[in-house]
Amino acid sequence: LLKKMEDYEGALDFYQQANRVQEKVLGKTHPSTLTTIMNMANTHMGLKDITKAEEMYRLALDGYERSLGKGHEDTKRCARNLAFMLLREQG
């Protein structure tokens, strides 16, 4: 909802809080934790912080590949998001 309202700072705060809890409870490579990291990357895109967005996408992608494998739909979705961001930035 906060992202839809373009309150990217508020959304990022929410995701950071959720990520801290998820890492403690579920672990760093749990799919729910990785989805939160990918949502943080999307939010950084909204904030035009491309460097941080790329870092977060790569972190999520690495986790997805390790926990779910390269062929899993979540892994592919994250890879597509990263690729789309990189293509957009190349102009």
pLDDT at 5: 61
Cα separation, 86 vs 60, whole angstroms: 15
pLDDT tens digits, 28-74? 999 999 999 999 999 999 999 999 999 999 999 999 999 999 999 99
Cα separation, 22 vs 34, whole angstroms: 9
